Structure 1
């Protein structure tokens, strides 16, 4: 099939406030239009019937929401179907395409236009003399990687990035290769999203993961959903919210924007509701917190619980606090010493509304608090997540059914990546097991994360960058600086399924290594292979592709890792080629080297797979004190200075991470526009700005430097005063590389200090 080539004519932008339920017929119509546009009216529906089916289907390569546990045959969502169809496209990017277009020319194309060309078909190497990518054999590609790595002065001059969709088996081999080479430079997308969550829960509970599962969601009396646009980022959560509402649970959404998921839905696989256009509410209370004000709101709820306990001792679970926690007295004191006036000022929410949320919490026997990047991508992200744990501990909402912390991981196997070794700060216990069972001597010093890798590439300290999936150039902050850093490398390697920006922002030498997609069959010497993933709630299960590969030249991700490893480590005792013949062999080694993966091959083939053990769920806390630890961090000042706004970056609905499906955002009423900024109408009026007026946006970094976006269109939106929002990756340019959290090292993409003025 001939791909669409070159710029696509722009239509006039439109904005009409969205007043419809999430999912339902709007999602069905959108999916149908997408399948027609991509000409996937046969394989698309086939994929729908195979996606997220236990042990016989493939895991959705989109979000990490857990699969249904009760045999649902349509455990799917609009964005998952789009993601799969985008991968299964019949369009191909073959060598003739690269021969027809220079890299400089392609760099001017939009993100949609690049990915819309289709699937990559064979390995390519950059030719600097012609500014074209040209074909290269797999053998020569691996040798280029291997010889470059072998030629480094020390292994820390290489960095190995991981996107969240890499399966567990490839993940394990990838980190093994890096550590056998001698480096812990293993940045990943977690460094930009949930690093704060992991560090906070590790400090409070001794585990970097949430403790709840879907069964807990099904029995909770109250659900608090914070900092997440579930209808776009975890759409299958809508089913859980609808079921919760039907059984009478209270559902509190806390977010600067009232998103579609926080109002009502029609669950598409509920055929009767679809036929009758019957909507279900997905919230009982919505609180619009100011950007960065979540910690103040949570502390206000805790203050209310403590005040309630003076009249009703049962408001606190004192027995739980005494038996299982430390630091309670200090936390109670900091709550008591924080005035209601300051809590209102910092949260942007009135005392009455905070008390409403606290009332819901006190009346519920079992509460779950769930959150996403709206809480983590801040300077104080770790403290905010620890405040969630504080609130849960007050009423013993841990270690029992229907209660606990539940982070919403954004990519399908991002949690599995960390579990299986992608960690630039590995602990000694993990490295000891790796040394014992894999017969290597892994490095002990910490490596570089995402921000550290960009800084090191820019300085020239990192000379080789390997990207295992994803679109690093576009996902990272401070785009011009990130581009400069990548271009300063001796070699950049991108393992990908589709053409993207990271192939066009490259080192002096560059490789594109095309891999199989999650939907495709992976045949190796011992037959059809399966891989495993871990979802957001610690369930590990199998994924088996259904479709013939897009090209006979594609290799699987494990095979690509093994090829690079053998070329870089020719004398390695690791049986790389033997592993690739049969992935069960990789899993057998993982069962020895990874805690919790014992008897891996048998357990992963059980119905629904198996759940990794969570000590904190059993009230075993691997903290220095041996108990769950309250945090008494000071409340940060998040109120913008006069004349400035706090801007948060986010995704549109027709987008998955850096993949743009269209310039529409149905749930926010936007059509044909991405270069926009959502603003409070009073903030617009104060600046003399009207709807669709072009504006200039200037951010100020902590080092005093400025970054600019000019000519963006202003859209009046229901967002608190002093706050603004717009789309990533376009707005990543506003987030300076120096603006990363000192608590988590995450780029502060949800709290960029900006001024907005009418365009000159």
Structure 2
């Protein structure tokens, strides 16, 4: 039924997955002009002898089926393996000024990059350049900087372990630790928060643990859109009666009901499986309060049981043997009143007690969470409170239990493991010195926010991007765009054109690289790369398609070319030799990081191997050798709720996008078709402002730090099932209202999920 107020807004009552997912895959293949090749390509996705999907980081099952891809994975694969090309003819026909006016969708849909390019300001065009000339130009610009710290080196999570390792090696040899990367914008709160809690900045579960869980709790993520292969796991758990308790501001269709495309009965009967046994719509920014409410209810239940002469619900043996800080946490929770928890979370005491009852009854519990937890001003605190909740009942280091941060990009975790970090530890520096004979600097470099601030201030003059769409991904789009146009050097290694490439510096280079699906042929023959998934499994990825052009090079080859030109023979690093045979890169990874022992042998086994996660075995690599209960005195994020009329915005992804890549303009499960200029609001919040469903509105950020006017104009208000005081809009369109100063002070993660805003009628 169409919304009478707003074109393109319709009710969508079907389950997630099902026939609509298969139809979407078919349309995607047809649109990218690869129907026959695309079908063959999809069958190699996430297979032991195939390639790793360039989409999400959900792990592969031990026993793969005939197809291990999902709808959005198919979109990512088709998007990369498209028959469309952006060659010399394309760039001769379009100026950069013209391309700037294209939509982000149209820029990437133009096709794969095929030639190295340099921007010519005289013609306003990206023009062909020879590879050697490009490398020499980059080297000249980098070497004439006053300090290596005037350069920023960004990494996308889609880079392989081999590429990321070479990249960090080059940058440390060059002399800086400025490593802004996509981890800074998504799960940095995990990387910073969990080591203090449990000694490792990764999840503790394996995929097999989900088969043994008695309950699964889900916080702040939408697997049906962002990692749909997870739905197979949740579908199986729901069907065997495992309670799945969800905390999220919006009811996401896949977590309500799901029809598995691999289930012949559901497909034939048009039936589906309910997923969430309970769905708690927490206020935007209310997760910390909800977690404290769960722990408060658990402590009260424990006390009641003990008073009644029955066993308490806390795992006192685990707490006594393995943890520190329990009494401090207990005191903080007891001192926090229910009225305060209810007001901050938007949930009733009864709802939180019900969820705590499910948690207390289950012996083995997994807690999954996504960026709805981490992208907050208190993101690190959120993560640590999840760890606290699990530790109260010993749910870490037990089969079927643990903490599961659900990562986005397919190797964002692996990149960090092999050295992409602005905060090098002694083990990393010792390993590099052992393997390459030089010691990198130990001081902290720039994260993404600090890098953009340095660029805007003119302190940083050069930016090299290994993939990604940094400018569009960052908060405060206007200030970020203006700053990047002042650079002396901008280098982008990419598969396809995006908006960041059009923010031209004095010298701008765009270098085409192979994708996951492409055959990587080097001097010793075809090469495989490796990736690490969300659960610390490392496995090989082998592309097989002919590259989109003869001049397209692999990421390791491009990095080696830049490094060799820039550093010359410094430290005697054999850049070319390592690229000739990636086994040599893996040998060096093993030498730097002992956890990769017998790397080349173990990664050749189907499914690869799991890196050691000490907390999974109840070994705590913390300062005191214990798992630590950590405190968080604040319940809210200081989101200026006291400002009259203020609302709190969370940015969301549509079902037709992956991070900044926009595949299309439909958000099927939310009933949005053919548009993205919408903001989802509670009907009562609309009425309180004299607005109604379908009105045009403006949204303005409330943080005033003397920067640009942060406002989006003329968006459609859509009445939606979202808690009062909360609104939602699409990322990256809403990034313009977020100040660069809005981030978690502990991790540096921008608070994309907790933005104080004002909503007013649109000004003509």
Contact kept? 1:84, 1:519, Cα under 8 Å: yes
- Counterpart in 2 of 1:8? none
Q: Where do residues 327-366 of structure 1 align in structure 2 (5 Å cutoff)?
A: 327-366=325-364
Q: 2:273 aligns with which of 273, 280, 292?
A: 280
- Counterpart in 1 of 2:676? 674
- Counterpart in 2 of 1:651? 653
Correspondence 1:559 to 2:557: yes
CA offset digits 1:421-456 (Å, max 9, x no partner): 000011111111111112222111110010010011
- Counterpart in 2 of 1:59? 52
- Counterpart in 2 of 1:703? 705
Counterpart of 2:77 in 1: which secondary structure? helix
TM-score by length of 1: 0.97
- Counterpart in 2 of 1:6? none
Contact kept? 1:438, 1:593, Cα under 8 Å: no
Query: How far apart are residue 595 of structure 1 and its match?
Result: 3.3
- Cα distance in 2 for partners of 1:454, 1:575 equals 32
Contact kept? 1:34, 1:82, Cα under 8 Å: yes
- Counterpart in 2 of 1:622? 621
- Cα distance in 2 for partners of 1:704, 1:341 equals 36
Counterpart of 1:495 in 2: which secondary structure? strand
Q: Where do residues 211-610 of structure 1 align in structure 2 (5 Å cutoff)?
A: 211-312=204-305, 313-572=311-570, 573-610=572-609
CA offset digits 1:242-292 (Å, max 9, x no partner): 110111111011100000121111111122321222311111000000001
Contact kept? 1:654, 1:661, Cα under 8 Å: yes
Contact kept? 2:288, 2:636, Cα under 8 Å: no
- Cα distance in 2 for partners of 1:40, 1:363 equals 51
Contact kept? 1:222, 1:250, Cα under 8 Å: yes
Counterpart of 1:461 in 2: which secondary structure? coil
CA offset digits 1:609-639 (Å, max 9, x no partner): 0000011111111111110000121133357
Contact kept? 2:303, 2:312, Cα under 8 Å: no
- Counterpart in 2 of 1:688? 690
- Cα distance in 1 for partners of 2:468, 2:350 equals 44
- Cα distance in 2 for partners of 1:50, 1:111 equals 29
Counterpart of 1:755 in 2: which secondary structure? strand
Counterpart of 2:169 in 1: which secondary structure? helix
Contact kept? 1:380, 1:636, Cα under 8 Å: no
Q: 2:143 aligns with which of 150, 169, 176?
A: 150
- Cα distance in 2 for partners of 1:677, 1:715 equals 6
- Cα distance in 2 for partners of 1:752, 1:470 equals 24
Query: How far apart are residue 702 of structure 1 and its match?
Result: 5.3
- Cα distance in 2 for partners of 1:63, 1:18 equals 25
Counterpart of 1:726 in 2: which secondary structure? strand
- Cα distance in 1 for partners of 2:12, 2:356 equals 30
Correspondence 1:736 to 2:739: yes
Q: Where do residues 43-122 of structure 1 align in structure 2 (5 Å cutoff)?
A: 43-54=37-48, 56-122=49-115
- Cα distance in 2 for partners of 1:400, 1:683 equals 44
- Counterpart in 1 of 2:308? none
- Cα distance in 2 for partners of 1:246, 1:586 equals 44
Q: 2:165 aligns with which of 169, 172, 190?
A: 172
Query: How far apart are residue 755 of structure 1 and its match?
Result: 0.6
- Cα distance in 2 for partners of 1:590, 1:174 equals 12
**Which stretch of structure 1 is more off in the superposition, 673-682 or 263-272?**
263-272
CA offset digits 1:478-500 (Å, max 9, x no partner): 11111122111110000001111
- Cα distance in 2 for partners of 1:208, 1:17 equals 41
- Cα distance in 1 for partners of 2:704, 2:482 equals 20
Contact kept? 1:13, 1:670, Cα under 8 Å: no
Counterpart of 2:312 in 1: which secondary structure? helix
Query: How far apart are residue 216 of structure 1 and its match?
Result: 0.6
Q: 1:30 aligns with which of 24, 31, 39?
A: 24
Contact kept? 1:621, 1:627, Cα under 8 Å: yes
**Which stretch of structure 1 is more off in the superposition, 264-273 or 579-588?**
264-273
Contact kept? 2:434, 2:591, Cα under 8 Å: no
- Cα distance in 2 for partners of 1:596, 1:474 equals 35
TM-score by length of 2: 0.97
Contact kept? 2:203, 2:535, Cα under 8 Å: yes
Query: How far apart are residue 704 of structure 1 and its match?
Result: 6.4
**Unaligned regions of 5+ residues in structure 2, if any?**
1-5, 306-310
Paired positions, count: 748
CA offset digits 1:700-742 (Å, max 9, x no partner): 1153654111100101110000000000111111111111221
Query: How far apart are residue 47 of structure 1 and its match?
Result: 1.3
Q: 1:201 aligns with which of 194, 206, 212?
A: 194
Contact kept? 2:51, 2:543, Cα under 8 Å: yes
**Which stretch of structure 1 is more off in the superposition, 160-169 or 480-489?**
480-489
Query: How far apart are residue 139 of structure 1 and its match?
Result: 0.4
Superposed CA RMSD? 1.1
Query: How far apart are residue 696 of structure 1 and its match?
Result: 0.9
- Cα distance in 2 for partners of 1:495, 1:177 equals 15
- Cα distance in 2 for partners of 1:192, 1:152 equals 27
